[in-house]
Structure 1
C-alpha cells in the first residue's frame, strides 16, 4: 500500500541538463563503448554521484555523464510487481520520493506517478522528476558511457540480462551484487560481474576463489590494509574501492593497489590530484 507523505518544500526549478551529452571521441570507434576503454585508474559515480546530484535520477546521471569526471555511472535496480525494472536503491519509497510504501507494490503505470525528492543539501537547483526505468537509462546512456547496476532483486537477473543482450550491451554494463552465487549466475548468462564486499566480510573472504567469474571486486575502503592487499592479489582483473568521498581515502586505496574508486563525489576528487604514497605513512583507522 502506498501512502502520501506531507510535502514541506516543493522541488526547485529544473536545472538545465543536456539530453545528448558530449560528442563521442573519435577514438571510440563504431558501436557501443565497452570495458576495453577503461583507463588504468577508473572513477565510478556512485548512484550518479550522490553528493553532487540527485541519486538514481535521470537528470543526475545525465549531469554526471556531461561533466565527464567518471568513466562509469552506477545506479540501483528493483523490480515492480508486474516485472518492470526501475532505478531505485531502497525497498521503500519513503527516503527519496514524495511517497511511502514498498517499491515492489507498484506496477509500471503507478510508477509514472512517483516523484523524486532531491536533497536540499545538493549543490545547484534540481527539479522533482519521475525515477527512470532501467530500460530508459540503457536507451539514453547505454554504450555511450560504461554503466554499473546493482541488482537488488535476485529474481531480476534474467530480465536484466535480456535487456542488456537485446541492446548489445553485455560488454558495456557491470552487474553488481553482494552475493557470490548471483555473480556466478550473471557470469553464466554472459554478463560482466561485479561483487561488492563489506569491510567485515573481507576479513574472512578468500577472493581468489572468485577470479574465474568475477570481473570487478568491489571492496569497502574501510577494510584493513592486509585485506585490501589480499583482494588486489586475488587475480580479479579490477579491484575498486567503495564508497570513497575524500582525496585521502582515494589516495590510500590506490596506494594499496586498487585500480578504481567508487565515489559519491566524482567532481570533488577530480579537482584534487592523487598524492603519491609516502614511506612510513600511518595505517588507516576506520
Structure 2
C-alpha cells in the first residue's frame, strides 16, 4: 500500500506549499497530493480552500484575486513561526519542485463553480507542457465530473481518479464513463466489502485522509492500494 502525503506533508509543514513538498521528500515519501485552482486572472495555483483566510494573511475568495496579489501573501505563519514568509506556490513551481525531488504527483483539481472546464483545461495544459516524457505522469483527480471529462480530453494518456465521499449506487457507471483507474474515497465511509467490490471491478482504491496507523493497517489488509495522510511517516 502506497503512503501519499496529503497536501504535501500537511502535518509537518503548511499545507500546499513548497515547504510541505520538501518535508514529504525529506521523510521518504514517494508521492504527494496537492490541490489546484485558478486565480482571477487564470493562473493555476496550489491551494485548497476557495477563500484565503484559513491558510494565508489574505482575505476573500481566491478567485477574486490576481496571481500577483496571491503570490505576495504569507502562507506559512498560520502554521508555525518557522514558516513565516512561505508563499502560495503556482502549479508550475510545485511541479518543478516535485520533478527536482523525484516525487510522484496526484494533482487534485478544485474548481470554483462555473470554472470547472476552464480550471482543468488551464491546469492540464500547463502540466503537460511542464512534465517531461519518460517520467510517470501525474495522477489527475477531482470531485468535479466536468474536470475529469476535460482531463480525458486534454491528457487522455494521464491516469485519472474520481473523488467521492462515499460509494454511490452508480459508482461503476460514473467510473467507467470517465475512464478513471481509481476511486478516492473518504476512509470513514469505507467497509471491507466495498473495497473488495471496487477492486474486483478493476479499479484501484485509495482512501483519504488517514492519520491513524491502526486504521491505515486495517485498510491495507482490506486491499486499499493507497492512503493519503498528513502524518504518513507514522501510519
The structure 1 residue matched to 2:31, chosen from 72, 78, 81, is: 72
1 or 2, which has the higher helix percentage?
Answer: 2
Find out whether 1:210 has 2:210 as its counterpart.
no
The structure 2 residue matched to 1:185, chosen from 150, 153, 159, is: 150
What residue is the counterpart of 2:137 in the other structure? 172
* Structure 1: gaps spanning 5 or more residues: 1-40, 270-286
SS at match of 1:232: helix
What residue is the counterpart of 2:125 in the other structure? 162
Find out whether 1:101 has 2:67 as its counterpart.
no
SS at match of 1:115: coil
Give the TM-score of the pair, scaled to structure 2. 0.86
SS at match of 1:245: coil
Number of residue pairs matched by the alignment: 223
Cα pair distance change 1:224/1:146, threshold 3 Å: closer
Cα pair distance change 1:156/1:146, threshold 3 Å: same
What residue is the counterpart of 1:282 in the other structure? none
| 1:181 Cα deviation from its structure 2 partner | 4.2
Alpha-carbon contact 1:184-1:214 (below 8 Å) kept: no
Alpha-carbon contact 1:49-1:64 (below 8 Å) kept: yes
Cα pair distance change 1:102/1:79, threshold 3 Å: same
The whole-number CA distance in structure 2 between the counterparts of 1:250 and 1:268 is 10
The structure 2 residue matched to 1:126, chosen from 83, 86, 95, is: 83
| 1:150 Cα deviation from its structure 2 partner | 1.2
Find out whether 1:52 has 2:12 as its counterpart.
yes
Q: CA RMSD in A?
A: 2.1
Alpha-carbon contact 1:219-1:228 (below 8 Å) kept: no
What residue is the counterpart of 1:252 in the other structure? 218
Give the TM-score of the pair, scaled to structure 1. 0.72
Alpha-carbon contact 1:250-1:261 (below 8 Å) kept: yes
Pairing of 1:29-40 with structure 2 (within 5 A):
none
Alpha-carbon contact 2:9-2:23 (below 8 Å) kept: no
Alpha-carbon contact 1:80-1:106 (below 8 Å) kept: yes
The whole-number CA distance in structure 2 between the counterparts of 1:142 and 1:114 is 25
Cα pair distance change 1:166/1:91, threshold 3 Å: same
Greater Cα radius of gyration, structure 1 or 2? 1
Alpha-carbon contact 1:45-1:73 (below 8 Å) kept: yes
Q: List 4+ stretches of structure 1 deviating above 3 A.
A: 117-120, 168-171
| 1:203 Cα deviation from its structure 2 partner | 4.3
The whole-number CA distance in structure 1 between the counterparts of 2:190 and 2:130 is 40
